[in-house]
Homo-oligomer: A and B are copies of this chain.
Amino acid sequence: MDTAEKFDDKAPGNMKLADQIEGEQAMDETIRYPDQTVGTPYVDNPKMRMRDVEVFYGEKQAIHGVSLDIGKNEVVALIGPSGCGKSTFLRCLNRMNDTIDICQVKGNLHLEDQDLYDPKLDVVELRARVGMVFQKPNPFPKSIYDNVAYGPRIHGLANKKYDLDEIVETSLQKAGLWNEVKDRLHSPGTGLSGGQQQRLCIARTIAVSPEVVLMDEPCSALDPIATAKIEELIAELSESYTIAIVTHSMQQAARVSNRTAYFHLGRLVEMNDTDTVFTKPEHDLTEAYITGRFG
């Protein structure tokens, strides 16, 4: 927690610097990419193990040979500049990329012993085990209640209406939305404010209690208090579940994660203990990023 305070989020020391770092591309030519990721991307006995993941959108390669592990009951933060491939990588982990026609995934991805891209794999089970909160809140055009109850219903997690009510309530409570919506559980989820929708989507995902939770910028539309609530939730979840979170807030990464992975233009540049990443980053790209400048 202490590292968190060091960072003044989104306020690069010298704002004018942004001018100089206009062209990432230009800079890329001068900086050598590490052949291998620096730091400690692997752990013993991981929950998920990814090796040499490459992702293509049509011709365009979005992820270049990324290898990393996510340990059991670990919170891994994925950080990096916009467009660097965080969401793309995250979506590989429960095969949501399948839904994009032009998207192709190569490499070795495992959830425990299960090869994720094994043709025989059961994606439904996989996605039930590996839940996801999407970057853009996408509530169903159904009532708030039905949004949250959707997962439990399809998986048959509640036997009685009473159980379901309870799941809905605790999920919404955990996502910090219960008080705001308890009087309007049956009004449509699409009629919520941006931040409320985001929390609804979080509640919807945790309602099925997946083993691994993937969160793509879950707090992007939230105020500090709601954010705190979600971070608390993450802490709570990490006691029994495994979590990968994409965030653009380095403070948040510092606060919630055990290890942090820094992505840059589709490559995993560095992965280390969160403390290490934020106090003594090994790679100069990482350092440039976390100090709010490049090089």
Interfacial residues, chain A to chain B (CB-CB below 8 A)? 4-5, 8-12, 15, 17-19, 21-26, 57, 60, 79-83, 85, 87-88, 135-137, 173, 176, 179-180, 184, 191-196, 199, 216-217, 219-229, 231-232, 248-252, 255, 289, 292, 294
The reply to whether A179 and B220 contact each other, CB–CB distance below 8 Å, is no
Please give, as numbers and ranges, the residues of chain B lying within 8 Å of A250 by CB-CB distance: 224
Q: Which residue on chain B has the smallest CB distance to residue A79? A: B223
Please give, as numbers and ranges, the residues of chain B lying within 8 Å of A248 by CB-CB distance: 195, 221-224, 227
Q: A191-B57, A196-B83, A221-B248 are in contact. Are A228 and B12 (CB under 8 A)?
A: yes
Please give, as numbers and ranges, the residues of chain B lying within 8 Å of A216 by CB-CB distance: 194
Report the separation of the CA atoms of residues A9 and B220 in the bound assembly, to the nearest whole angstrom.
Answer: 12
Report the separation of the CA atoms of residues A10 and B5 in the bound assembly, to the nearest whole angstrom.
Answer: 11
Shortest C-beta distance, A155 to chain B (Å), equals 28
Please give, as numbers and ranges, the residues of chain B lying within 8 Å of A25 by CB-CB distance: 179-180
The reply to whether B224 and A11 contact each other, CB–CB distance below 8 Å, is yes
Task: Name 9 A/B residue pairs within 8 A (Cβ), A-sorted.
Answer: A17-B228, A22-B173, A22-B179, A83-B195, A135-B194, A136-B136, A217-B220, A220-B221, A222-B248
Besides A12-B225, A25-B179, A83-B195, 6 more A-B contacts (Cβ < 8 Å) are A10-B252, A12-B224, A22-B173, A83-B180, A83-B192, A195-B248
- What number of copies of this chain does the assembly contain? 2
Shortest C-beta distance, A40 to chain B (Å), equals 23
Please give, as numbers and ranges, the residues of chain B lying within 8 Å of A251 by CB-CB distance: 8-11
The reply to whether B194 and A15 contact each other, CB–CB distance below 8 Å, is no
Q: A10-B228, A136-B136, A194-B135 are in contact. Are A222 and B82 (CB under 8 A)?
A: yes
Q: Which residue on chain B has the smallest CB distance to residue A81? A: B223
Please give, as numbers and ranges, the residues of chain B lying within 8 Å of A228 by CB-CB distance: 10-12, 15, 17-18, 292
Q: A23-B179, A82-B193 are in contact. Are A8 and B8 (CB under 8 A)?
A: yes
Q: A18-B229, A179-B25, A224-B292 are in contact. Are A193 and B10 (CB under 8 A)?
A: no
Report the separation of the CA atoms of residues A180 and B62 in the bound assembly, to the nearest whole angstrom.
Answer: 12
Please give, as numbers and ranges, the residues of chain B lying within 8 Å of A194 by CB-CB distance: 82, 87, 135-136, 216-217
Report the separation of the CA atoms of residues A15 and B87 in the bound assembly, to the nearest whole angstrom.
Answer: 28
Q: Which residue on chain B has the smallest CB distance to residue A57? A: B191
Report the separation of the CA atoms of residues A184 and B8 in the bound assembly, to the nearest whole angstrom.
Answer: 34
Across the interface, A195 reaches (CB within 8 A) one of B82, B192, B222, B255, namely B82
Shortest C-beta distance, A134 to chain B (Å), equals 9
The reply to whether A10 and B249 contact each other, CB–CB distance below 8 Å, is yes
